[in-house]
Amino acid sequence: MWYRLFKYVLLGPLLRLLGRPEVEGLQNVPDKGPVIIAANHLAVIDSLYLALVLPRRVTFLAKQEYFTGTGFKGRFQRWFFTVAGQVPVDRTGGSAAADALAAATKILESGGVWAIHPEGTRSPDGRIYRGRTGALRVAMATGAPVIPVVLSGTDKVNPRDGRFWRFGKVRIDVGAPRYYPSIVSHTDLPCAHVRTATDVLMRELAARSGRHYVDSYAATFSAAR
């Protein structure tokens, strides 16, 4: 109930007013069954716009710290991320990556929609950066299709260093599903195979967006490059 109230009443109208989202390709999202949404990452608000425009409920993985705060701010933040479709995952321990993949797999095995930004963090300059391989690992382990999604304009509505949201124009391009051969488990995947498939996906996002592709992780970006 809260998810729909949040989407259609509490925040959705404001997001539509600020970003005037224009969406193409929604017909590419299956009406039912497991789906992985793989999108580029420009702003914190990206996940909200994906939840707003996609016709099915979308679930994201979020670091556990968002759900463990205290006081009014902590409670509000926990409520906010919960109703926004986020699932807490501990990303600090040695088994963090495996735990995240297991959580994503559980979402898909229940027939849900899992959304992920393969870059792992916001792009520092708007370009598309090298992706982490988790999305493709889960796709190959579950047989769930991967739908490439390109976001643009969200960084204008929600600037990296801005304290407030602003008016802008958000565009969301939803590509056709990509299917990958299923394997028995995450550990059965040849590293080179999943790495190559991830690189192809990220280069496709770059091509669809008209942005340059950078073959290094966004977290290692240096302004001196």
Distance, in Å, from the CA atom of 50 to the CA atom of 63, rounded to the nearest integer, reads 19
- Contact present, 21 and 152 (Cβ < 8 Å): no
pLDDT of 96 over the 90 cut:
no
In CATH terms, the fold of domain 19-219 is Glycerol-3-phosphate (1)-acyltransferase (3.40.1130)
Beta bridge partners of 147: 37
Per-residue pLDDT at 223: 47
Q: Which of 148, 164, 145 is nearest to 156 (CA)?
A: 164
Helix (H) or strand (E) holding 148: strand 146-152
Residue 225 pLDDT level (bands cut at 50, 70, 90): very low
Lowest-pLDDT choice from 71-80, 121-130, 200-209: 71-80
CB neighbour class for 159 (10 Å; exposed up to 12, middle 13-18, buried from 19): middle
Residue 94 pLDDT level (bands cut at 50, 70, 90): very low
Q: How many CA atoms does the CB half-sphere of 35 hold within 13 Å? A: 23
Q: What is the mean pLDDT of residues 88-112?
A: 77
pLDDT of 151 over the 70 cut:
yes
Distance, in Å, from the CA atom of 155 to the CA atom of 170, rounded to the nearest integer, reads 9
Give the chain's mean pLDDT.
Answer: 86
Q: Where are the domains of the chain?
A: 19-219
pLDDT of 133 over the 80 cut:
yes
Distance, in Å, from the CA atom of 157 to the CA atom of 147, rounded to the nearest integer, reads 24
pLDDT digits 0-9 by tens, 58-83: 998 876 776 777 787 777 777 777 76
Residue 192 pLDDT level (bands cut at 50, 70, 90): confident
Per-residue pLDDT at 172: 98
